């Protein structure tokens, strides 16, 4: 899996060669954690065996001590069936085993929620950035800033339906001892193709004067609305201007500064200069428009939204499919192993008891319900706990994954929860079927014999 991910990164970032070379420290750490967990799990049983005197160990096992349980003390036993009472009593006799089995299956559910949560977060980011905020079909960048007449020249290109010019200026923003190099983006007042959206999908209006900062940039500079920044422009005569911070927008991607394009032109002491434009185009005439843009010397670059989305999904989908497939496989192994192991041990320990029930007249189905009902009850208890744990882990991941590049939103769809539940239930059902088949082959005579 590591090699497959390395190949994807090599292709995406165009590295000449990217070797997957895990260190010995990493391998030893992984082996140590797994081996240590296994040894710790066996330690309790091993201590009991070592502490038991040989003479006492050779004697028959003492009968279990039975006393009224929680159901009997609460008076609820009269309202539930005999089989359910036997299941609850069996779980009460081994509370630690039941608790650890529940925790293990809950972690399997949580693992699935965390693995599928990445899909939900990225889908939300794409929906916000490429459908709600960026609604243009093409973004055109010019070789150098041009006058307002460039807007009308772009508007008369074939297939162009709407033009929204922008002014992009590289600058270094300073506040006290902190500074950051960013691009100041000037947008028009009528914005249908490129809008500013916060985390709650509300449209943010640009002030007629002053500057809006993304929340991450404001945090890096330590500024708040009402503070004044020093903006060192990094093009032309490189003037230094004082700009008032009028607000903060809680966006999801990048560290950006936004201004009204007229205010930005006035700040730079220039006319209606633009650096490019966002276009809405007629898809039927798009090929002709692309050819015209390629032949236009003033155009330095063209970004097509559909191509960007296709490239994004092709790269992200492949890398996520590998990691998600691994998480699903791990979760299935965990859920299957815990249910099968618990039921298999219970069958070995209670073979005499189950055989006695068969002799007393209980059917194969009733005995199977008593055996597998414990695991079913534990599975049903673990799933809500696992979903809650998964949500908590996802919330923690969104907190630690905050970066200048993007802020992962805490978005978990119902489909993610449903898939997590179905996979855990399916793994539990498969293991239960295997145990039931073993139960059907149980030798009643051998199970009822008492060892001397």
CA distances in angstroms from 375 to 158, 330, 440, 445, listed in the order given: 68, 19, 18, 26
Whole-model pTM: value is 0.72
Detail the DSSP E strand segments found in 85-206: 138-146, 160-175, 178-187, 196-197, 203-204
**Tens place of pLDDT per residue across the chain (452 aa):** 777 777 777 776 677 777 778 888 888 999 999 999 889 878 877 887 788 787 777 776 666 666 666 666 666 666 666 667 777 777 777 788 888 888 888 988 898 898 888 888 878 877 887 777 778 888 898 888 888 888 888 888 888 888 889 999 999 999 888 888 988 998 888 888 888 877 777 788 888 888 988 888 888 888 888 888 998 988 888 889 999 998 888 777 778 889 999 898 888 888 888 888 999 888 888 888 888 888 888 888 888 888 877 777 776 766 777 777 777 788 888 878 887 887 787 777 777 777 777 777 777 777 777 777 877 888 888 899 999 999 999 999 888 877 666 677 788 889 989 988 998 888 888 888 888 887 777 766 666 665 54
Q: At what angle do helices 351-359 and 364-400 cross, to 10 degrees?
A: 140
């Amino acid at each position: 899996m590591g090699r497959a991910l390395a190949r994807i990164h090599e292709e995406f970032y165009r590295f000449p060669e990217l070797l997957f070379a895990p260190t010995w420290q990493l391998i030893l750490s992984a082996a140590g954690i797994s081996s240590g967990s296994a040894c710790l799990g066996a330690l309790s049983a091993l201590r009991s065996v070592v502490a038991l005197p040989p003479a006492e160990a050779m004697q028959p096992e003492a009968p279990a001590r039975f006393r009224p349980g929680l159901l009997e003390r609460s008076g609820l036993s009269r309202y539930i069936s005999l089989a359910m009472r036997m299941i609850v009593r069996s779980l009460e006799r081994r509370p630690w085993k039941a608790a650890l089995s529940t925790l293990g299956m809950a972690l399997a559910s949580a693992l699935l929620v965390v693995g599928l949560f990445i899909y939900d977060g990225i889908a939300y980011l794409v929906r916000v950035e490429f459908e709600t905020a960026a609604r243009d079909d093409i973004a055109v960048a010019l070789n150098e800033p041009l006058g307002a007449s460039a807007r009308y020249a772009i508007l008369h290109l074939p297939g162009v339906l709407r033009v929204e010019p922008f002014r992009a200026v590289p600058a270094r923003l300073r506040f006290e001892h902190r500074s950051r190099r960013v691009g100041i983006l000037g947008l028009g007042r009528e914005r249908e193709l490129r809008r500013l959206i916060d985390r709650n999908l509300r449209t943010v209006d640009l002030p007629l004067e002053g500057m809006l900062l993304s929340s991450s940039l404001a945090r890096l500079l330590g500024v708040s609305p009402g503070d004044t920044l020093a903006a060192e422009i990094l093009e032309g005569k490189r003037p230094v201007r004082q700009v008032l911070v009028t607000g903060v927008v809680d966006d999801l991607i990048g560290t950006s500064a936004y201004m009204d394009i007229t205010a930005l032109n006035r700040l730079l002491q220039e006319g209606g200069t633009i650096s490019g434009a966002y276009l809405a185009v007629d898809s039927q005439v798009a090929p002709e428009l692309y050819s015209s843009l390629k032949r236009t010397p003033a155009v330095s670059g063209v970004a097509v939204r559909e191509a960007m989305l296709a490239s994004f999904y092709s790269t992200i989908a492949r890398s996520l499919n590998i990691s998600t497939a691994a998480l699903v496989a791990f979760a299935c192994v965990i859920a299957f192993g815990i249910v099968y192991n618990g039921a298999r041990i219970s069958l070995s320990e209670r073979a005499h008891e189950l055989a006695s029930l068969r002799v007393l007249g209980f059917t194969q189905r009733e005995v199977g319900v008593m055996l597998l009902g414990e695991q079913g009850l534990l599975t049903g208890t673990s799933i809500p706990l696992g979903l809650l744990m998964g949500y908590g882990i996802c919330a923690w991941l969104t907190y630690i994954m905050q970066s200048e590049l993007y802020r992962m939103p805490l978005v978990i769809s119902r489909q993610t929860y449903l898939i997590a539940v179905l996979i855990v239930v399916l793994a539990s059902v498969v293991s239960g079927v295997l145990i039931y088949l073993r139960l059907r082959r149980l030798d009643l005579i051998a199970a009822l014999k008492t060892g001397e």
